[in-house]
């Protein structure tokens, strides 16, 4: 009979990483480990404090109860409201059934023959710190850079973006920005117009969530394409999902499988986006390499041509050693590098 247990792993950032929601120094994950007839599988239950739908005081108790249900062969709880546990279980089952527990979605990517283009990520901080990050990404041949904005003075952020654009035109470097909902509704359109001078590819979540009418108006009027991100969190039923996309009509959507309830739920979002002719890309949510590996392999099978947001594995000093490497702005699976055994 299948058995389950979990191990908590707190990731530590190499450098404090800033968003408009605050500064991140650590990040909690739980590895869900399944065993059955001598085989083992692993998945990651990853939450973002203050953002994940299941960031609740009873998260670990719920995960413990879920493991007890597996171990006793009892009916399993409905995980709809627990997206992190759902993707962890979904991944662990795939890992358990696979001939290689780390190759969940066999493809040219998992075999190390093809790469996934990704954006480089610039965290908030002082002007000099953000410029230093940009210079580092350019030196590593990234041609798509995502800059988190909303923390320092907006004029300083414009100056930073202006400097980057003055060095590289839009055909050489793609610039994305992510406000994480930081713009006040009354200021948002003005700021979007100012940003548009620098040929911005897109802006993620310019205003806070649950303002569908305002967000819809911005999507119609903004000179910069808008991408929904946090807006999708906690929206689990198909009817509300379709209503959200129909009303807001964004130009892009960003999918974080760990926050949306796994691959099956994210696939439903993708299908809806395609029905509404909305383009999209997939990003990680600061998982360890266990979760990032699963998300990256699944992402490759979706055949998106846009740069994905999957470059977060190198942010931590205590990540799980893995074959995932970044080279020239792309994520590769280098199978000459072994996984660190953590079972």
Task: Give the tens place of pLDDT for each residue, 3-55.
Answer: 999 999 999 999 887 666 678 899 999 999 999 999 999 999 999 999 999 99
- pLDDT at 271 (0 to 100): 97
CATH architecture of residue range(s) 3-97: 2-Layer Sandwich (3.30)
Return the percent helix, strand and coil in the chain, to nearest 5: 35, 25, 40
- pLDDT at 252 (0 to 100): 98
The CA distance from 122 to 173, in Å, is: 14
Buried b (16+ CB within 10 A) or exposed e, 286-305: bbbbbbbbbbbbbbbebebe
User: CATH classification of 116-333 is 3.20.20.120, yes or no?
Assistant: yes
The CA distance from 62 to 73, in Å, is: 16
For the chain, where do the domains classified as CATH 3.30.390.10 start and end?
3-97
For the chain, where do the domains classified as CATH 3.20.20.120 start and end?
116-333
Residue 191 burial by Cβ neighbours in a 10 Å radius (0-12, 13-18, 19+): buried
Q: How far is CA 294 from CA 10, 287, 321, in A?
A: 19, 10, 15
Q: Which helix (H) or strand (E) holds 280?
A: strand 279-282
Mean pLDDT in residue range 296-316 = 96
Q: What is the CA radius of gyration of the chain?
A: 20
Torsion, Cα 294 323 301 330, to 10 degrees, reads 120
Q: Is 80 exceeded by the pLDDT of residue 151?
A: no
The CA distance from 49 to 129, in Å, is: 24
Residue 62 binned pLDDT confidence (cut-offs 50, 70, 90): very high
Q: What is the pTM of this model?
A: 0.96
Residue 343 binned pLDDT confidence (cut-offs 50, 70, 90): low
Q: How far is CA 184 from CA 37, 163, 190, 216, 329, in A?
A: 56, 25, 10, 15, 33
How many residues are listed for the chain in this entry?
343
Task: Give the tens place of pLDDT for each residue, 197-212.
Answer: 999 999 999 999 999 9
Q: How far is CA 231 from CA 52, 207, 211, 254, 256, in A?
A: 12, 10, 9, 10, 11
* Residues identified as active-site: 148, 256
């Amino acid at each position: 009979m299948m058995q389950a247990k979990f191990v908590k792993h707190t990731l530590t950032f190499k450098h404090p990483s800033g968003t408009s929601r605050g500064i991140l120094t650590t990040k909690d994950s739980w590895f869900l480990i399944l065993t059955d007839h001598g085989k083992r599988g692993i998945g990651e239950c990853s939450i973002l404090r203050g953002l994940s739908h299941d960031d609740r005081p009873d998260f670990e108790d719920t995960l413990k109860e879920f493991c007890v249900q597996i171990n006793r062969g009892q009916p399993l709880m409905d995980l709809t409201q627990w997206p992190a546990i759902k993707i962890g279980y979904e991944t662990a089952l795939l890992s358990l059934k696979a001939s290689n527990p780390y190759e969940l979605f066999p493809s040219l990517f998992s075999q190390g023959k093809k790469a996934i283009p990704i954006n480089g990520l610039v965290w908030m901080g002082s002007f000099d710190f953000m410029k230093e990050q940009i210079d580092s990404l350019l030196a590593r041949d990234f041609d798509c850079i995502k800059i988190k904005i909303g923390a320092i003075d907006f004029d300083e952020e414009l100056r930073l973006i202006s400097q980057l654009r003055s060095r590289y035109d839009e055909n050489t470097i793609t610039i994305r920005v992510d406000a994480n909902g930081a713009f006040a509704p009354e200021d948002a359109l003005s700021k979007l117009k100012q940003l548009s001078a620098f040929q911005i590819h897109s802006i993620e979540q310019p205003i806070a969530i649950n303002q569908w009418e305002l967000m819809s108006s911005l999507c119609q009027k903004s000179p910069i394409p808008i991408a929904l991100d946090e807006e999708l969190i906690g929206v689990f039923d198909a009817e509300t999902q379709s209503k959200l996309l129909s009303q807001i009509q964004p130009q892009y959507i960003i999918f974080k499988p760990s926050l949306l309830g796994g691959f099956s739920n994210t696939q439903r979002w993708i299908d809806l986006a395609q029905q509404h002719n909305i383009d999209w890309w997939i990003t990680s949510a600061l998982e360890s390499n266990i979760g990032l590996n699963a998300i990256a392999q699944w992402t490759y099978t979706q055949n998106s041509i846009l740069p994905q947001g999957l470059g977060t594995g190198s942010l931590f000093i205590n990540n799980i050693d893995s074959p995932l490497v970044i080279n020239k702005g792309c994520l590769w699976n280098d199978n000459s590098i072994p996984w660190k055994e953590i079972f």
